Chains A and B, each alone.
Chain A
Amino acid sequence: MMSPNTTQQPLTLTLGHLYPDQLNLYGDRGNILTLRRRCQLRGIELRVVGLGVGDALAPDEYDMLFIGGGQDKEQAPVADDLHEMKGIGLWAAIEDDMPVLAVCGGYQLLAHYYRPAEGPDMRGLGVFDAWTEHKGTKVPRCIGNVAISWNGQTLVGFENHGGRTYLGTAKPLGKVLKGNGNNAEDQTEGAIYRHAYGTYLHGSLLPKNPHFADHLIELALQRKYGDRAITENDLFNGNHTNKAAEIGATVLELQKTTVSPLLTPLEDSLEWEAHASMLERLGLYSEAATILRTHKS
């Protein structure tokens, strides 16, 4: 559990969960549970702090941020609070390369604005150079299973959004393989700015996409313990296997190329099987086969 090297302190990360009471529509809890467990198995303590309406966001106190999706009724007061109470802190955090995951409604709130079918625009923070429009109730919602390519790998999830998001200069998170993505027109899905990721994928997103969860954890670790991580490359791969064994999980000794080099690989065959199963439902058979070949012993 303890790092074998210079430090006597266990690694800790603090996750700021924005609006856990308002923006929790689509199993967002699964993302938090996944981050927590994947940290825990590696001997990293993940503290989760809820940030509700009225709470200020002090960027120094957190190592990563998560913001989920909500119903329209709940999203409006949250949009105001995001501007008034958390905007500056959030901007500072993002400019300082803090990893941020924003799903669905949270993603829309981090773009410039959300224009509903009727009524005034809901302003966003403008972290992503993108905007969202609702084309009215006659235009069908984007609902269904979805797969995208990200970083040469696949991400799977479920999307359910009425708004169509269009990217300005923002870089998309990935390219849609099956499903609608940002707007069902240009094959883009999500947006990236520095280490902030916006996406419509829930399902929950992280449990079935362990590589993406680890990517976020790794970014947070690098940001917090960056120098040490580089100079003492084995820091994060210390004797955490013991910790994992205590919890009852199997940690593979074998390093896998697709897994982040900084984090101990975990026994993820169930995760990948679920991932592959979703790819197959979407008709992506060769991608599914690749996943199983790469991730099954």
Chain B
Amino acid sequence: MRNEQPSQPLSPEIDQSPPDSTLEPAPLPAADEEMTRKPQPKRQQHTMRAGLAVMAGRTAGAISRRLHLGGGTSIVGVVAQRVYPDIIEHLATELEHGSLMVTGTNGKTTTSSFIAAILRDDGLRVWRNREGSNLVGGVASSLVIRAQPNGHLRRAGKAISILEVDEAALPKLVDAIPPRVIVFTNLFRDQLDRYGEVDSIVTKWKQAIAQLPDTTTLVLNADDPTIAQLGDSFAGRVLYYGIDDLSLKDDPAEQEAERHQVLDVRTCSNCGSDYEYSKRFYSHMGHYHCPNCGKQRPTPDVRVTHVQMDTFDRIRIQIESADEQREIVVPLPGLYNIYNALAATSVSRALGIGWEPIISGIEQSKPVFGRGERIQADGKTMRLLLAKNPTGFNEVLRTLFSDGISRHILFVLNDNIADGQDISWIWDVDFERVPGQTETLVISGTRALDLALRLKYAGVAEKNMSIIPTARLKAHRNTETPRQKRLKKKREIKEQLAEMPGSQERQYGIKIALDSALQQTPVGETLFVVPTYTGLLEVHRELEQRGFTPHYWEGRDA
């Protein structure tokens, strides 16, 4: 593929006067858009068009940032694509080492950041789409912000891009940028209101894989049956990874919790019989086989043979590939991060990278945006652990509450579009782990009341939770009828009632929630913040304003 060679000779005649149509200012009329979509027009025409797109996109991004409409990361690509729909294709072909893609429900960001660290240590210049802008627009942004007004990428030599791709956006993107390696991490139910059912994602992925040239390498999680089956009909190279350490503990509490867990995959992709598991690590991840047709978990090419927890966020793993064994210390908590390290190792092996950068890359990588990220605030430590779907949330809870230490917790549950508006899934999460395990517990977000209710039904007493929703109910302001308003006396009674346990006056807003959670956490201790996606953005914004963390669009990749 695009490996080892500049894919398209760069046009030397940039100054040559372009055809009239491309001189028009952006955005161009639809007729022109049609014209430039046609295959095989002259490259320099495209370069001009790309240049315009780059300028338009970057201007839009600058304005968006100036107006504080957000990080301004997605808008750049969206605008550039409006000006030149094939901008992604155009720019991506200039990367000397091509592109890698990472997709799946959970672990995309951490896996890509591990891969990025490894590739950097191997001497490559790594480009990424950052901070969750993983839809088509975000991928376009990541290229456009590194392009010049002449329509070419800056410093494309020795460059490789790692694209974190939203599950549903995959078919569109592989069409524009055929990747050298694509890794599928796992598939769990997530935002059913946005993606539809889990099965529809599988269909999309199969479509995407059918479009791939057989020079692409698929890297698949062998322990997730839905992911593993994606390799069944692929003509190119497939590399599987998995955990082979059968001594990983299933403590009794976990078995208990597991019984309630909802599984997204239980039936064989061949014959529809129920899979049997000889080992289940969490949810549907484990060693499975079909008792009916004999389909079983593929033998992993890259595997973890032993796991040892040194501390909360130091996990020592023995990793084996092609009869070579190495020890890597994963600097993040939780079993799910072992899978992320394993995925990154497999991708690197697929690219033919040696062990040294793999080990140094993983061991020295810093937790990224909200994925175990550590922030110091007034002598207290905050750890941000994003949890955006039932499996992710379960794994975070398991990581936090498995060693019997009481924690200081702030949960933030939002139901904005990016989080998914359906929060039914909280009832599938094992909050039964929580009662008795929290030193202090603050609940915030647009759906704080729902989460508080979930915790109440899990057995957490209301007096042990501080509920601080994002906004006050209008009805709370207007509960007094005109008659009540006249009767001051009645109001006083109301105030007395408000002081009764369980119905104390609520406070509102993420700012107060964060204040309250930090105040309740003694100096020297750790506050664990577990937010959904937009909750994470809000917490970050709040921390930025207090000067605790850098602005998130000022990352180090640019």
Contacts and interface: CB of A to CB of B under 8 A. Distances in A.
Contacts of A29: 260, 262, 427-428
Interface in B417-465: 421-428, 449-450, 452-454, 456-458, 461-462
A27 B479 contact: no
Contacts of A273: 449, 473
B456 A276 contact: no
Contacts of B196: 141
A207 B457 contact: yes
Given A141-B196, A297-B497, A289 B453 contact: no
Contacts of B427: 27-30, 33, 204, 207
A207 B497 CA distance: 24
Given A71-B198, A207-B453, A277-B469, A144 B479 contact: no
B476 interface: yes
B426 A27 contact: yes
B475 A26 contact: no
A160 B422 contact: yes
Contacts of A276: 473, 475
B254 interface: no
Interface residues of B, number: 45
A71 B199 contact: yes
Contact of A160 (B192, B469, B475): B192
Contacts of B262: 24, 29
B502 interface: yes
B479 A293 contact: yes
Contact of B424 (A26, A74, A285): A26
A280 B473 contact: yes
A245 interface: no
B503 interface: yes
Contact of B422 (A203, A274, A297): A203
B272 interface: yes
Nearest to B272: A77
A165 interface: no
B24 interface: no
A188 B86 CA distance: 46
A285 to B, nearest CB: 6
Interface in A66-100: 71-74, 77
A274 B453 contact: yes
A25 interface: yes
B421 A145 contact: yes
Contacts of B189: 25
B475 A289 contact: yes
Contact of B502 (A74, A141, A143, A267): A267
Nearest to A28: B427
Contacts, number: 117
A63 B53 CA distance: 66
Contact of B473 (A203, A292, A297): A292
A269 B199 contact: no
B206 to A, nearest CB: 14
Interface in A137-171: 141, 143-145, 158, 160
A292 B457 contact: no
Q: Which of B196, B424, B426 has the most CB of A within 10 A?
A: B424
A288 B473 contact: yes
Interface residues of A, number: 46
Contact of A37 (B457, B467, B497): B457
B263 interface: yes
A208 B502 contact: no
Contact of A248 (B267, B461, B479): B461
Contacts of A250: 501-502
Given A26-B192, A143-B193, A296 B503 contact: yes
Contacts of A271: 453
B473 A277 contact: yes
Q: Which of B423, B452, B456, B457 has the most CB of A within 10 A?
A: B457
Given A29-B260, A269-B502, A203 B424 contact: yes
B250 interface: no
A112 interface: no
Given A145-B421, A160-B193, A289 B479 contact: yes
A250 B469 CA distance: 23
B497 A144 contact: no
B474 A204 contact: no
Contact of A277 (B424, B425, B449, B456): B449
B428 A27 contact: yes
A158 B461 contact: no
A42 interface: no
A274 B500 CA distance: 19
Q: Which of B267, B426, B475 has the most CB of A within 10 A?
A: B475
B214 interface: no
12 contacts: A26-B192, A26-B425, A30-B457, A71-B199, A160-B193, A203-B422, A203-B423, A270-B462, A274-B453, A280-B473, A289-B479, A292-B475
Interface of B: 189, 192-193, 196-199, 260, 262-263, 266-267, 272, 421-428, 449-450, 452-454, 456-458, 461-462, 467, 469, 473-476, 478-479, 481, 497, 500-503
When A and B form their complex, which 3 residue pairs have the shortest distance between CB atoms, in order from nearest?
A30-B427, A27-B424, A27-B427
Interface of A: 21, 24-30, 33-34, 37, 71-74, 77, 141, 143-145, 158, 160, 202-204, 207-208, 248, 250, 267, 269-271, 273-274, 276-277, 280, 285, 288-289, 291-293, 296-297
Given A145-B421, A297-B497, 17 more contacts: A28-B427, A71-B197, A72-B199, A143-B422, A144-B421, A160-B422, A248-B461, A250-B501, A274-B452, A274-B453, A277-B473, A285-B474, A285-B478, A288-B473, A291-B475, A296-B503, A297-B503
